[in-house]
Amino acid sequence: MQIYLPIAEIPVNVLTILAMGLTVGFLSGMFGIGGGFLMTPLLIFLGIPPAIAVGTQSTSVVASSVTGALAHFARRSIDFKMGGVLLAGGTAGSLSGIYLFKLLSAIGQVDLMISIIYVVFLTIIGGLMMVESVQAMRVARNGGAGGRARGRGHHSWIHGLPFKMRFRRSKLYISVIPPILVGYFVGTLSAIMGVGGGFIMIPAMIYLLRMPTSVVIGTSFFQIVFVTALTGVMHAYENQAVDIVLGFILVIGGAVGAQFGVRVGEKLQGEQVRALLAALLLIIGVRLGIDLISRPDDLYSIVVMSSGT
């Protein structure tokens, strides 16, 4: 069943897009991420221009994140105070990212930059997460020996920063500077890569901010909802890079899939969830890297110039 995408200017199979939305929504609910790190490359593989894939995916991430956030809200697993601090940084980062995206589009390098950023971040973060999760599973198998030693003194440099705030839900008393910087960085990447930023946000909350795993995923969803909503609106207004038809199909699949993903994720241990997420990041990163360096089918392209140029 074919449908024509007016902004992307290509025909696609509706069932294929819907299945992609369901799958990514499921993974989004399971891992507490926006799903853009997977959907954006899949759309690019399908032939959607990278700029359109980024802009459209930003809007579809909102739907899956809202359903995931509501599910965690019902379970009281969201730290709203921490989420608000992350959101403040994410809003500023999103606006900066939109400006950078527009600049790269103007010089014709946005597609290449999107691919390079994906390869670098997915492989590095995926590799680090895989190493840590494997070590955590080994510690758990040995009865937890050594786990407590790692936790002591981990916040030493953070505790020395000013503007401290108490986050009762996360049982933390730390400076707001690290969460704001994390939010800013994730917001910038959200605008450039079309992702919710959960694949960076979640490791940062676990390993840098040392938040309890029980509130990490829900808080990530809360922040993703508002940052990606802002990013999607700005992409539509500034870059005209949002295909409403494509986004609507992705939203339907993502919203349904996220509900099932949340239920499955609750049955897995934290180390197992991180290991699965790390494996996905590595697979997608390697696949994009291969496409980036492989020889294209068409070495040359023909551009029809207007008579006035």
In this structure, the chain runs to a length of 309
Alpha helices in the chain (DSSP H): 14-31, 36-45, 50-74, 80-106, 110-141, 147-151, 156-159, 177-193, 198-203, 213-234, 244-265, 270-293
Q: Are 101 and 271 in contact (CB under 8 A)?
A: no
C-alpha–C-alpha distance, residues 213 and 31, integer Å? 11
C-alpha–C-alpha distance, residues 93 and 30, integer Å? 26
Global pTM value: 0.66
C-alpha–C-alpha distance, residues 151 and 198, integer Å? 23
Q: What is the pLDDT of residue 64?
A: 65
Amino acid occupying residue 273: V
In this prediction, residue 35 has a pLDDT band, given cuts at 50, 70 and 90, of low
Which of the given ranges, 98-102, 189-193, 233-237, 290-294, has the highest pLDDT on average?
A: 98-102
Residue 4 host element (H or E): strand 2-5
- Chain Cα centroid distance, residue 172: 25
Q: Which tokens in the block code for residue 193?
A: 């890569």
- Cβ atoms within 10 A of the Cβ of 68, count? 35
Classify strands 10-13 and 164-167 as parallel, antiparallel or unpaired.
unpaired
2-34, pLDDT tens digit by residue?
Answer: 787 777 777 888 888 888 888 877 877 776 665
Say if residue 152's pLDDT is above 50.
Answer: no
